[in-house]
Amino acid sequence: MYINGKAWRSIWLEKDGQTVGIIDQTRLPHQFKTVQLLSADDAVTAIRDMLVRGAPLIGATAAWGVFLGLQEDSSDKGLETVCTKLLAARPTAVNLRWAVERMRSVLAILPPKERVAAARSEAAALCEEDVQLNEAIGEQGLRLITEQYERKKRPINILTHCNAGWLATVDWGTALAPIYKAQAAGIPLHVWVDETRPRNQGAHLTAWELAAAGIEHRLIADNSGGHLMRQGRVDLCIVGSDRTTASGDVCNKIGTYLKALAAADNKVPFYVALPSSTIDWDLTDGMAIPIEERAEEEVLFVFGQAEDGSIQKVRIAPEQTRASNLAFDVTPARLVTGLITERGVCAASKEGLLELFPEQG
Amino acid sequence: MYINGKAWRSIWLEKDGQTVGIIDQTRLPHQFKTVQLLSADDAVTAIRDMLVRGAPLIGATAAWGVFLGLQEDSSDKGLETVCTKLLAARPTAVNLRWAVERMRSVLAILPPKERVAAARSEAAALCEEDVQLNEAIGEQGLRLITEQYERKKRPINILTHCNAGWLATVDWGTALAPIYKAQAAGIPLHVWVDETRPRNQGAHLTAWELAAAGIEHRLIADNSGGHLMRQGRVDLCIVGSDRTTASGDVCNKIGTYLKALAAADNKVPFYVALPSSTIDWDLTDGMAIPIEERAEEEVLFVFGQAEDGSIQKVRIAPEQTRASNLAFDVTPARLVTGLITERGVCAASKEGLLELFPEQG
């Protein structure tokens, strides 16, 4: 997507054809800095230290990490070493495993001397597929925004939670893809950006993406969305999904459920944008999804830019106070107006999903 | 209430009988510092710069401010000057006006030489009434916690939002009063403390109160309460109220409505603790209450303690990003299980309120 009018992706092959570029997302929104990955170890560090985050981008970085590793050693042992190393970078990331296994299965059957070139084209293909998938989600979601605009003939107010933007994928994003498509289509927009405590991905990343793209937006405390809906100041909600059950329950960033409740209470359409790869076809009850409890420090401390420009970590609670940090929640399908997938928009139900994905029936 | 075993109030007449002590709440939770108010101007500054906050405590500080002012000049002109000065400290605070008018009406009819002593006893009486009112709310709410404990025979998990504790009143608080009473009654408790963005009164003040009182608690992001309720980890919610309609709608800190929705969705009892002085008997529709929109900076910046111990203000959003800052929301009566008042617990409805306050019928 665009940063001050120039097109970027979140990851790219550098012009030398041998190294890979990324944006250091830990420095956003205060500093925009790109980093050149020279080795598989650099890719591991980028994933582990969260210079890149978001399941699709982690997968893409791992794919390029295999390419970087094979340039050092393209033997069977070299391939094995780089795959093991990358898989250990963030052990719970499903897309990371998926991307590494895809690379391995393509490359293992080739003679070592062909592996570097093949890894380059396979990583590039994986990224290209991610871009096309997200662009398709954007096109599908655009129809929902267009419909609202044609009816209301005024700027459309969209609320989003967390960051499901292009920074989380290779390009376009999921929840933000329809917004970028609507901007391109000339529809006037205004986005309410939930700051998304405790890690503030809304304030840090979504606000930055929208500012860079020149899309009108306001940052709000996570507490605000409910009353904004009561006041009629939200036309629709679009959020992402980390995992979706075959019955349409949505596991997403903590706080999503509260916004879905408010949307239902105020008859505001609540959409979830997701690539079908996040659908767990074996699971029907969202409450069966184990919810990660993350470190207390994420709640007790806040990162930000001090007046002298330095990035500081400040404590917001008393020394004796402990915290609890659920990373995700589950929004039951009954609160979801529709799922925006690459194949179309469907009801959040088994029947709705099977209409779009009959091969899963 | 207790700080490490020693009883405190949020405001007191110093032993000299002439000056007034307060806790500088702007320094909490990182520093506990008391401040001696020597003059009416000191009281004005304490209110204006929010060293004291919470409607009842603002009123109490204003009452003592009149006493301080009269020691400088107890003439009619002196009384007029101090009242005017105090009323301007935070012009929208209803309790401030109420307290100043009460002092004025008692003192204006007395000869100047009797006014200082009368102001001392009237301010003390006003504070004592506030303490008794809140203690009565505590006793009423205790019954609800006791009932849960007798049924469940395990620690009771209570979720609260913002700070409606003793720091907001002269003592006991409103929402926290039942919790202090339950602690005194030996009921094992655990409190989920919403951090309450954007001003973080939960993290700064409620967590500090509970830590000082030795009550088990965990700080959580405002996003978390919904999923905790879905997991069955919340037994009841108790929040305060800034303004309550005659029909039981509750205007309280932004985010209260979202927790009430989650409580209703999970059949968790949702109680609002309030002194009857916050009931607006002329108003029936909560959505008619004008909602203050506060400065964007409260959303864009976070205060906390840096590693070197200094209090720092850090920016969490990009420079170009603007914010929106609704201070309150309105929870419709249908989502409120009951209102805890000084006279008893009643349904959040006109009928429920009139049973306890028949004189308003």
Q: Please state the pTM of the whole predicted model.
A: 0.95
CB contact under 8 A, B223 and A255: yes
CB contact under 8 A, A313 and B306: yes
Q: Of A211, A219, A316, which is closest to B300 when you measure between CB atoms?
A: A219
Q: What digits encode the pLDDT tens for the residues A27-64?
A: 999 999 999 999 999 999 999 999 999 989 999 999 99
Q: Which of B131, B59, B147 is nearest to B342 (CA)?
A: B131
Number of helices and strands (H, E) in chain A?
A: 12, 19
Q: How far is B214 from chain A (nearest CA, A)?
A: 10
Q: What digits encode the pLDDT tens for the residues A252-278?
A: 999 999 999 999 999 999 999 999 989
> Which of the residues A163, A242, A258 would you substitute to probe the B interface, choosing the one with the greatest number of B C-beta atoms within 10 Å?
A258
Residues 6+ apart with CB under 8 A from B104: B66, B79, B83
Q: What digits encode the pLDDT tens for the residues B41-70?
A: 999 999 999 999 998 999 999 999 999 999
**Is B347 within 8 Å of chain A by CB?**
no
**Residue A27 burial by CB count (10 A; 0-12/13-18/19+): exposed, middle or buried?**
middle
> Which of the residues B193, B216, B307, B314 would you substitute to probe the A interface, choosing the one with the greatest number of A C-beta atoms within 10 Å?
B314
**Is A190 within 8 Å of chain B by CB?**
no
Q: How far is B247 from chain A (nearest CA, A)?
A: 18
Which segments in chain B show pLDDT lower than 70?
none
Q: How far is A261 from chain B (nearest CA, A)?
A: 7
* Contacts A–B by Cβ distance under 8 A: 225
Residue A302 clears pLDDT 90, i.e. is over it: yes
Locate A134 and state its tokens.
């997200």
Q: What digits encode the pLDDT tens for the residues A91-124?
A: 777 789 999 999 999 999 999 999 999 999 999 9
Q: What digits encode the pLDDT tens for the residues B67-116?
A: 999 999 999 999 999 999 999 998 777 789 999 999 999 999 999 999 99
Contacts of A196 in chain B (CB under 8 A): 223
CB contact under 8 A, A315 and B326: no
CB contact under 8 A, B30 and A230: no
CB contact under 8 A, B261 and A258: yes
Q: Of B210, B211, B324, which is closest to A220 when you measure between CB atoms?
A: B324
Contacts of B262 in chain A (CB under 8 A): 257-258, 261
pLDDT at position A340, please?
98
Q: What is the 3-state secondary structure (H, E, C) of B2-68?
A: EECCEECCCEEECCCCCCEEEECHHHCCCCCCEEEECCHHHHHHHHHCCCCCCHHHHHHHHHHHHHH
Contacts of B301 in chain A (CB under 8 A): 304
**Is A223 within 8 Å of chain B by CB?**
yes
**Is A196 within 8 Å of chain B by CB?**
yes
Sheet holding A243-245, edge to edge: A279-280, A243-245, A250-253, A328-331
Residue A207 clears pLDDT 90, i.e. is over it: yes
H helices of chain B, where? 40-48, 55-72, 76-87, 94-108, 112-152, 177-184, 201, 207-213, 225-230, 256-265, 297-300, 350-356
**Is A6 within 8 Å of chain B by CB?**
no
Give the SS3 label for residue A213: helix
pLDDT at position B91, please?
72
CB contact under 8 A, B30 and A324: no
**Is A31 within 8 Å of chain B by CB?**
no
Q: Of A204, A254, A299, which is closest to B316 when you measure between CB atoms?
A: A204
**Residue A84 burial by CB count (10 A; 0-12/13-18/19+): exposed, middle or buried?**
exposed
- Which position among A222, A242, A249, A329 bears the catalytic label? A242
The domains found in chain A, sorted by start residue, are 2-129 (1.20.120.420), 138-360 (3.40.50.10470)
Identify whether B222 is a catalytic site residue: no
CB contact under 8 A, B316 and A302: yes
Contacts of B214 in chain A (CB under 8 A): none
Q: Which of B90, B88, B166 is nearest to B127 (CA)?
A: B166
Percent helix, strand and coil across chain A, each to the nearest 5: 45, 20, 35
CB contact under 8 A, B302 and A314: yes
Q: Tell me the mean pLDDT in the region A141-151.
A: 98
Residue of B nearest to A212 (CA): B320
Place of tokens 């025979």: B153
**Residue A332 CB: number of other CB atoms within 10 A?**
20
Residue A90 clears pLDDT 90, i.e. is over it: no
- Phi first, then psi: what are they for B147, rounded to 5°? -60, -45
Q: Quickly list DSSP for A82-101.
A: HHHHHHTTSTT-HHHHHHHH
What is the percent of chain A where pLDDT is above 90? 96
**Is B265 within 8 Å of chain A by CB?**
yes
Average pLDDT, chain A: 96
